Amino acid sequence: MVLTGCEPEIEDLTDPVTVDGVSYGVVQIGEQVWFTENLQTTVYANGDSIPTGLTGLFANSEWATTTEGAVAVYGDGNYSLCEEYSPAIDACDEEQSLEAYGRLYNWYAVMDSRGLCPSGWHVPTDEDWTQLEDHVEAHVFEGQEGRALKTISGWMLGQNGTDDFGFAAPPGGYRGSDYGNFDMAGAGGNWWSSSADGEDAICRFLYTTPPGLNRNQAHPRKGYSVRCLRDAE
């Protein structure tokens, strides 16, 4: 589908939102207002700390066995396997990956009643993600939603996006649920929803190919990125 002469509706909002000492830009895409960066907070919305520094590498590691909320930086810890494919940074360097990708949260942190996003914001539901996808698709990019949302640099094999909507989705990879390993930084990004499908959680992911915004289910102990969405008025 091609809608000639139809340009994306983007409104950059001037006031950033500060969470745990970090300021986030925001952008309006259709009727939704999103953070323009992945979340980095190490505390819940009430100020309680989210457990961090959980070990990986083995099936009985702390990350692989926890049933509580946890957060990590890509490449975190001396006992974690780390693969990376970024053409721009050393993604297994914690300082570099934090700046480029934000932090990775398991789904137990997403669903904790204390909340990850600040007051007036929330982790998007599956329906929220679908609304974003539908809006992007309505503006020329049917089947190319992922490319329109991806950052313009940082993806392997030159598979960068066009960032037509200011969403700036980076290839932040993930942390595995079985061994606490890190993988796919530079090649893919994964974002939680707050919706479940049986015992699994529903997520969205972008990879170098295919170019769409893809929907999947994932184990709650996986470590994925989080974007905050403003509550509907």
Q: What is the pLDDT of residues 172-199, one digit of tens each?
A: 999 999 999 999 999 999 999 999 999 9
Q: What is the pLDDT of residues 18-73, one digit of tens each?
A: 999 999 999 999 999 999 999 999 999 999 999 999 999 888 899 999 999 999 99
What is the mean predicted confidence (pLDDT) over 148-164? 96
pTM score:
0.93
Confidence (pLDDT) at 15: 83
| Percentage of residues in the chain having pLDDT higher than 90 | 85
Q: What is the pLDDT of residues 106-127, one digit of tens each?
A: 999 999 999 999 999 999 999 9
Q: Is the pLDDT of residue 3 over 60?
A: no
Confidence (pLDDT) at 131: 97
Average pLDDT, the chain: 92
Measured from the Cβ of residue 36, the count of other Cβ atoms closer than 10 Å reads 18
Task: State in Å, rounded, how far the first CA of the chain is from the last one.
Answer: 32
Task: Tell me the DSSP string of 100-141.
Answer: HH--EE-HHHHT-TT-SSPTTEEPPPHHHHHHHHHHHIIIII
Q: Is the pLDDT of residue 6 over 70?
A: no
The CA distances from residue 154 to 94, 128, 171, 188, 213, in Å, are 16, 26, 7, 10, 18
Q: Is the pLDDT of residue 11 over 80?
A: no
What is the mean predicted confidence (pLDDT) over 197-216? 93
**Reported confidence tier of residue 209, pLDDT bands at 50, 70, 90:** confident
Structural contact between residues 214 and 206, judged by C-beta atoms closer than 8 angstroms: yes
Confidence (pLDDT) at 1: 31
